[in-house]
Amino acid sequence: MNRLLVILVCLLGLSACKKEQAAVNSPAAVAAQAVVDRQKIREFINANNLQNVAVKVGYPKTDTIDVWYIIVDSGSVVTPITNSTKITVGFKARQMGDTTVFASTNTFHPTYTLGSVIRGWQLGIQKSGIKKGGTLRLLMASRYAYGPYAQPEYNLPPNALLDFNINFFDITN
């Protein structure tokens, strides 16, 4: 009888977790967070005088993709970029509006396949046309990074908007 009670309690607990996760990912919750993120990004761009250098991925007036890029240095070696492109980078990552770096590659330069990184990187890097040797800044809404999920290892809350500075040491197909 005790085993049955323990199993029943566990099943109810799992069911509650699934309902909570579904509520966070519901279309209404995602749409509401998108509105909040879009406003915060616009405020950040305006407050930091980035209106003339920040470029929105997609069509600026009609697209709902909230990823912006700023080409700090375009680089010199042209290489087509696709999701299978390998990029060797150095980067610093901050939560938008915060000066604290939560992740960086000060002592190493990792190589990633573009299709395996967060969606904000995929969209921003491909759209920017960045070249080997270039430097790119990416600003992104939470849904293009970690969404409604906290990232305790980086001390990031749910729905964190991110700001990356990325140096491209190599771009290969």
The answer to whether residues 71 and 130 touch, using CB atoms and an 8 Å cutoff, is yes
| pLDDT tens-place string over residues 110-134 | 999 999 999 999 999 999 999 999 9
Domains within the chain, CATH numbers bracketed: 24-172 (3.10.50.40)
CB count, 10 Å around CB of 19?
A: 10
Give the burial string for 34-57 (b: 16+ CB within 10 Å, else e): eeebeebbeebbeeeeeeeebbbb
Q: So what's the pLDDT on residue 52?
A: 95
Do residues 14 and 20 touch, judged by C-beta distance below 8 A?
A: no
Query: At residue 9, what is the residue type?
Result: V
pLDDT interval class at 79 (50, 70, 90): confident
Q: What is the pLDDT of residues 18-43, one digit of tens each?
A: 445 557 779 999 999 999 999 999 99
* Token pair listed for 32: 């509401």
